[in-house]
């Protein structure tokens, strides 16, 4: 659980690698337009579950992500290849401290533990064939995908990938259209592929959804304005629709205003493997920027007796109150957030930034169907007036010049507490993440 709609340094690096290749391949060939980078990420994750009955997690690892993107062959239809290789090394995480989500989970070897000792290393690799022509790009194979209804998780040591087909078209100025279908995913803390499932729903032991399909687009017309519209189907689970609008109004060189809204509509479909779903969820934000200061207020509401759900480990929750630990997306949940961010360039320290936030949610868990095949775990007989809150602090520094240029050091802290029956579905935790990113451009 994280602020999914905010791009991490790793996500930016993945997008930058592709953008660099796309610019180069407009005029260059398969070899001349090729590009290779290695993203290194050192990740320490400590999740202190305050419930003494539950195992705490503390893991430390080093990740390497090699990204290769070729140019395109000459001709009306250009042909190219994208490929990646990932390696994760365990630096610390013995038996009894696993399950933080940056290293693979294994079966426990001692009684009373939920997770066993993580392996010393894990790796994966994949490739996709890509075709370009008529302002469109078609990819078949393993790929990184990022949109409001299917987005690979990038907030751990290694990123999530998908296996399938995708198509992007940019024939119309300021309009990006895309669609596709994927059947398998490589989770960010695993080596192999598996069928796609959901973050909050429990699938039957003998059934999984075979694929997720999507279609949508984003328009960036007037300066400062963006709007998106998407539809997706997780086969035999749900149809999900998404719309948003965001506008940044620069009043002058000092002051800016940023209103925006995100909306999801989710309904069960087909065999309804997770049961009945009829969910409307939205969030609205209003931010005021003054110089290097920015204050953001958020209101978020879930209308439905199931939580707002999305694909497992994905970042496809473009809601303003999705925080480091909690998404504030429970059944019929109403939540608020106040956030303050500061760019220390205002004090002569460019590259240093910090953020603090407080979020609070209220929900009635007695309305959840205790017989729901997918979401019965949310039911709580004591949860009529369930409440929880989260406090977040984030500080990051990016080296601006020199041999270590673009090296990013980040610390993230979260404190989450629940009451009045909320603990039936979530933990009281203190969580610390220390992350060091460094991109290496090979060619």
pLDDT digits (tens, 9 = 90+) for 215-235: 999 999 899 999 999 999 999
**Single pTM value for the model:** 0.91
Predicted pLDDT of residue 50 = 80
Q: Please, what is the average pLDDT of the chain? A: 91
User: Terminal CA-to-CA distance of the chain, rounded, Å?
Assistant: 35
- Using CA atoms in the order 68, 69, 71, 76, what is the torsion angle rounded to 10 degrees? 140
As a whole number of angstroms, the distance between CA 142 and CA 157 comes to 19
Residue 350 zone, left/alpha/beta (φ > 0; ψ -120 to 50; rest): beta
Predicted pLDDT of residue 10 = 66
DSSP string, 384-441: TTEEEEEEEEEEEEE--SSTTTT-EEEEEEEEEEEETTGGGTS--EEEEEEEEEEEEE
Instruction: Report the DSSP beta bridge partners of residue 141.
Output: 128, 164
| pLDDT-flagged residues of the chain (< 70) | 1-27, 52-54, 94-96, 109, 111-113, 424
Closest among 105, 107, 108 to 190, alpha carbons compared: 105
Q: Give the residue extent of every domain in the chain.
A: 9-441
Please give the CATH topology (third level) of the domain spanning 9-441. Answer: Porin (2.40.160)
Give the up-direction half-sphere exposure of residue 150: CA atoms within 13 A in the CB hemisphere: 31
Helix, strand or coil for residue 166? strand
Predicted pLDDT of residue 25 = 43
- Answer whether 94's CB lies under 8 Å from 117's CB: yes
Query: How many of the other CB atoms lie within 10 Å of CB of 389?
Result: 19
């Amino acid at each position: 659980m994280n602020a999914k709609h905010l791009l991490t340094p790793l996500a930016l690096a993945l997008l930058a690698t592709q953008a660099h290749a796309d610019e180069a391949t407009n005029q260059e060939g398969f070899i001349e337009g090729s590009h290779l980078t290695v993203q290194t990420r050192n990740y320490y994750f400590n999740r202190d579950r305050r419930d003494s009955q539950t195992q705490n997690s503390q893991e430390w690892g080093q990740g390497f992500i090699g990204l290769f993107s070729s140019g395109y062959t000459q001709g009306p239809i250009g042909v190219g290849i994208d490929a990646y290789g990932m390696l994760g090394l365990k630096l610390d995480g013995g038996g009894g401290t696993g399950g933080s989500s940056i290293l693979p989970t294994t079966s426990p070897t001692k009684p009373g533990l939920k997770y066993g000792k993580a392996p010393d290393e894990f790796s994966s690799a994949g490739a996709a064939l890509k075709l370009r022509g008529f302002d469109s790009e078609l990819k078949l194979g393993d790929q990184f995908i990022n949109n409001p209804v299917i987005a690979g998780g990038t907030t751990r040591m290694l990123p999530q990938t998908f296996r399938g087909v995708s198509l992007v078209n940019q024939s119309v100025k300021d309009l990006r259209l895309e669609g596709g279908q994927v059947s398998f995913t490589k989770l960010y803390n695993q080596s192999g592929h598996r069928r796609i499932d959901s973050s909050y729903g429990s699938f039957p032991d003998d059934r999984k959804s075979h694929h997720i399909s999507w279609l949508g687009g984003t328009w960036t017309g007037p300066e400062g304005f963006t709007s998106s519209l998407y539809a997706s189907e997780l086969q035999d689970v749900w149809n999900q629709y998404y719309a948003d609008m965001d506008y940044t109004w620069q009043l002058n060189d000092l002051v800016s205003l940023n209103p925006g809204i995100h909306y999801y509509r989710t309904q069960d479909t087909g065999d309804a493997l997770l049961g009945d779903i009829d969910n409307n969820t939205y969030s609205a934000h209003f931010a005021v920027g003054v110089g290097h200061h920015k204050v953001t207020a958020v209101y978020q509401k879930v209308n439905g007796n199931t939580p707002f759900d999305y694909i497992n480990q994905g970042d496809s929750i473009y809601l303003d109150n999705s925080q480091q630990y909690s998404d504030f997306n429970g059944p019929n949940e109403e939540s608020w957030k106040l956030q303050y961010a500061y760019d220390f360039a205002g004090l002569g320290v460019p590259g240093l930034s910090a953020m603090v936030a407080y979020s609070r949610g209220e929900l009635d868990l007695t309305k959840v169907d205790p017989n729901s095949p997918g979401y019965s775990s949310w039911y709580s007989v004591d949860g009529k007036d369930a409440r929880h809150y989260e406090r977040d602090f984030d500080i990051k520094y990016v080296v601006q010049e020199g041999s270590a240029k673009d090296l990013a050091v980040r610390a993230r802290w979260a404190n989450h507490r629940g009451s009045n029956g909320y603990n039936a579905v979530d933990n009281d935790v203190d969580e610390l993440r220390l992350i060091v990113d460094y991109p290496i451009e090979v060619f």
